[in-house]
């Protein structure tokens, strides 16, 4: 099969597996973060303001619909439903890796549909492994990155780091040397945010990325969708025993998202993605120092139904966030960022190290 069609097929399989199989990490670490109840909140619920600014754009809530899809026919409708809802609720939206469209321009439309909606902040998406030459393949640079941003009308480019997935994937790209300097070259000319995809970002990595010139970090930590798990199912289907075993062994690999949020705080905006499943988790993320929280799988499940289902899910998340703020006496996100929280084990063990 040509490389382009393989990318398309892989994208479709990922969505399919994530919707049908058990693909989450064993432990959701957000339950280790506890906000402190205030019996007399001294704030009226109706006054609570969850609006924020992220990368200069005003959002009605500190929520990002995390990068997921594009590059195959059925992805168009998912992206339409996500974009409609992001515009209606006033939250940020990412598209999935745009490699498929950069290699196969007739697929552009499956991503570009998000431009038809008034989404307050859009993220383009390309992979760090594609910024260096992989075996038998060329690499993407400034031109492709700029094209990817224009394709979806993005204000910010996410460069995703997914070497865990690449290494357990049957056909994965495993050359990693030179990615940091490639990110640095892009960041000189474009607003780049570095994003992990389920294994988290350590403190030292966050410092290196900041030095490389990124304008923010999406920690994409452990606790939600595990791409090692996703690749486990693909390898099993393809009868690739070694990759199947790797997928199983590294199912729970990575830095828990809440710990990674604490580790990645270097003064740049931090997005907390990975296992966020409620507005209470969003509140926990803000309290730990994140500027916003990202959700992927729950948004995909809703988007497979309709744009209305995504709107409903987002509205519920906002209600949960406001409820957590009410009960902690926080009138706005600044108050919440200044509030105290208690972190228990095992997440607290990670925080001690980092």
Q: Check residue 220 and give left, alpha or beta (phi > 0: left; psi -120 to 50: alpha).
A: left
Structure tokens at 315: 């509205």
Nearest to 65 by CA among 43, 95, 35, 98: 95
Residue 68 binds to ligand FMN (criterion: CB under 6 A): yes
Q: Which of residues 209-268 bind ligand FMN (CB under 6 A)?
A: 220, 224-225
The neighbour count for residue 309, using CB atoms within 10 Å, is 16
- Distance (Å, rounded) from C-alpha 77 to C-alpha 46? 35
In order, the DSSP letters of 159-172 are EEE-HHHHHHSTT-
Of 72 and 326, the one with the shorter C-beta distance to ligand FMN is: 72
Strands (E), the chain: 33-35, 52-54, 57-59, 63-65, 92-94, 122-127, 156-161, 192-196, 216-218, 270-273, 292-295, 341-343
Contact predicate 157/218, CB 8 Å = no
CB 47, min distance to ligand FMN, A: 30
Q: Is 82 in the site for ligand FMN (CB under 6 A)?
A: no
Q: Cα torsion at 13, 15, 19, 23 (round to 10°)? A: 80
Of 195 and 322, the one with the shorter C-beta distance to ligand FMN is: 195
Q: Which is nearer to ligand FMN, 246 or 303 (CB)?
A: 303
The CB density around residue 138, as the number of other CB atoms within 10 Å, is 10
Site pattern 23..62 for ligand FMN (x: CB under 6 A): ----------------------------------------
Locate 344 and state its tokens: 């228990």
CB of 225 to ligand FMN, least distance (A): 3
Near ligand FMN by CB under 6 A: residue from 10, 15, 333, 343:
15
Q: Check binding of 300 to ligand FMN (CB under 6 A).
A: yes
Confirm or reject binding of residue 169 to ligand FMN (CB under 6 A).
Answer: no
Applying CB under 6 A, which of residues 114, 297, 310, 343 lies at the interface with ligand FMN?
A: 297
Interacting stretch for ligand FMN, rule CB under 6 A, among 171-179, 245-253, 296-304, 324-332? 296-304
Q: Minimum Å distance from CB 43 to ligand FMN?
A: 29
Q: Which of 297, 272, 270 is nearest to 282 (CA)?
A: 272
CB of 239 to ligand FMN, least distance (A): 23
CB-based contact 277:292 (threshold 8 Å): no
Of 8, 30, 35, 69, which lies in the binding site for ligand FMN, with binding defined by CB under 6 A?
69
- Check residue 195 for interaction with ligand FMN (CB under 6 A): yes
Between 162 and 328, name the residue whose CB sits nearer to ligand FMN. Answer: 162
Query: Minimum distance between the CB of residue 134 and ligand FMN, rounded to whole angstroms?
Result: 16
| The one among 62, 90, 191, 198 contacting ligand FMN by CB under 6 A | 198
Q: Does 67 bind ligand FMN (CB under 6 A)?
A: yes
Question: What distance in Å separates the CA atoms of residue 69 and residue 46, rounded to the nearest whole number?
Answer: 36
Q: Running DSSP on this structure, what letter comes out for residue 328?
A: T
- CB of 176 vs ligand FMN, minimal distance in Å: 16
Enumerate binding residues for ligand FMN (CB under 6 A). 14-15, 18, 66-69, 96-97, 125, 158, 160, 195, 197-198, 220, 224-225, 273-276, 295-297, 300
């Amino acid at each position: 099969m040509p490389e382009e069609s393989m990318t398309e097929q892989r994208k479709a399989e990922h969505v399919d597996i994530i919707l049908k199989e058990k693909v989450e990490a064993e432990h959701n670490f957000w339950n280790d973060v506890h906000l402190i109840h205030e019996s007399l909140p001294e704030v009226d619920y109706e006054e609570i303001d969850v609006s924020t600014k992220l990368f200069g754009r005003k959002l009605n809530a500190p929520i990002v619909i995390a990068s997921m899809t594009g590059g195959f026919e059925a992805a168009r409708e998912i992206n339409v439903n996500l974009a409609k809802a992001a515009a209606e609720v006033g939250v940020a939206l990412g598209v999935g890796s745009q490699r498929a469209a950069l290699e196969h321009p007739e697929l552009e439309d499956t991503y570009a549909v998000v431009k038809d909606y008034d989404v307050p902040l859009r993220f383009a998406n390309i992979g760090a492994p594609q910024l260096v030459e992989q075996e038998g393949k060329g690499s993407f640079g400034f031109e492709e990155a700029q094209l990817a941003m224009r394709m979806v009308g993005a204000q910010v480019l996410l460069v995703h780091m997914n070497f865990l997935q690449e290494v357990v994937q049957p056909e994965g790209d495993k050359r990693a040397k030179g990615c940091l300097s490639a990110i640095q070259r892009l960041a000189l000319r474009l607003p780049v945010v570095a994003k992990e995809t389920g294994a988290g970002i350590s403190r030292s990595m966050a410092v290196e990325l900041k030095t490389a010139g990124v304008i923010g970090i999406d920690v994409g930590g452990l606790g939600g969708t595990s791409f090692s798990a996703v690749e486990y199912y693909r390898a099993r289907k393809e009868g690739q025993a070694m990759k199947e075993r790797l997928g199983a062994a590294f199912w729970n690999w990575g830095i828990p998202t809440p710990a990674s949020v604490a580790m990645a705080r270097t003064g740049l905006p931090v997005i907390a993605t990975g296992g966020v499943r409620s507005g209470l988790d969003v509140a926990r993320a803000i309290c730990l120092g994140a500027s916003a929280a990202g959700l992927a799988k729950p948004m995909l499940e809703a988007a497979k139904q309709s744009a209305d289902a995504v709107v409903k899910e987002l509205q519920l998340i906002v209600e949960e966030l406001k409820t957590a703020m009410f009960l902690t006496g926080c009138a706005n996100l600044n108050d919440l960022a200044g509030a105290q929280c208690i972190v228990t084990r095992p997440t607290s063990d990670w925080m001690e190290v980092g």
